[in-house]
Amino acid sequence: MMLITFGFVTPMTMVIVLVIALVIFGPGKLPELGKALGKGINEFKSATNGEEKKEEVKEVKESTKE
């Protein structure tokens, strides 16, 4: 049986990392950490693409009106 590996990350490595994270942070904190990580990745992607959030553009327009 052949396992699919992505670089050095094998399925067994991912299981070990998830178990360690569960022990350190507990089951209640993991969803919050995942959400924060996803939000950070999305913000990084939008920053590297040069896209601005609509809220930021709106704030800049409002501050220039004053």
At residue 6, what are phi and psi to the nearest 5 degrees? -115, 90
- What is the predicted pLDDT for the residue at 20? 92
Dump pLDDT digits (tens) for 25-41: 888 888 898 899 899 99
In sequence order, the β-bridge partners of residue 9 are 6
Tokens standing for residue 30: 């993991």
Q: What average pLDDT does this structure show over 48-66?
A: 63
Distance CA 22, CA 29 (A): 9
Distance CA 16, CA 43 (A): 28
Mean of pLDDT over the chain: 78
